[in-house]
Amino acid sequence: MEAFKEHVGLVVPLDRINVDTDQIIPKQFLKRIERTGFGEFLFYDWRYLENGDPNPDFVLNHPRYAGASILIAGVNFGCGSSREHAPWALQQYGFKAILAPSFADIFRNNCYKNGILPISLPANIITSLGQEAHKTEGYRLMVDLEDQSVVCPDGTVHTFEIGDFEKYCLLNGLDEIGWTLQYETDITAYENRGH
């Protein structure tokens, strides 16, 4: 897995709550058997018009947000289907971190496994960061995982929570399967207990 330590990037605000994984990556793109090639289909139905042209109204298509790598969204981001294609699409598009007041459970897990950092911050802070991003062209944030902080251009620091193990995995780009396999004797012992 890709490691995550710190990241400075352009911020794009997606002013929607309850963004579900069907929107992040619609089902017609789930037929691929590879782990790659999903970035171009991210938010497909919002991003493209009927004729396949980019939808000029969709925020990711505004030229000022080209190259954005930090996404700001509303509550319960990533709800719905367990498809890991959603974080794959976000990551392959170029997103490194997602900031929202809350995330859906499975989606958050899936992000960790792919080197994307989901950051929950109080709704009022998310709202004000989103407003800044709208107001200030080229608005960038710094995310520091070691310190568990988001640093604004004016120096304001917002700290966030993350589980110790998740932090450790991300910082080290840990192979979680390898981690579990070091306890193979425990697994075998469990199986032999007659379960």
Which residues of the shown chain bind other proteins in the complex (CB under 8 A)?
15-18, 20, 22-23, 26-28, 30-35, 45, 50, 74-76, 79-85, 87, 102, 104-106, 109-110, 113-114, 163-165, 175-177, 179-181, 183-184, 186-187, 190-191, 195
Of the pair 9, 74, the CB lying nearest other proteins is at: 74
- To other proteins, the closest distance from the beta carbon of 192 in angstroms equals 12
Q: CA–CA separation, 176 vs 52, rounded Å?
A: 39
Q: CA–CA separation, 172 vs 178, rounded Å?
A: 13
Q: What is the DSSP string of 167-191?
A: HHHHHHT--HHHHHHTTHHHHHHHH
- To other proteins, the closest distance from the beta carbon of 63 in angstroms equals 24
Of the pair 66, 187, the CB lying nearest other proteins is at: 187
Q: CA–CA separation, 133 vs 140, rounded Å?
A: 8
Of the pair 55, 140, the CB lying nearest other proteins is at: 55
- To other proteins, the closest distance from the beta carbon of 144 in angstroms equals 23
Q: Which residues pair with 6 in a beta bridge?
A: 144
Of the pair 6, 20, the CB lying nearest other proteins is at: 20
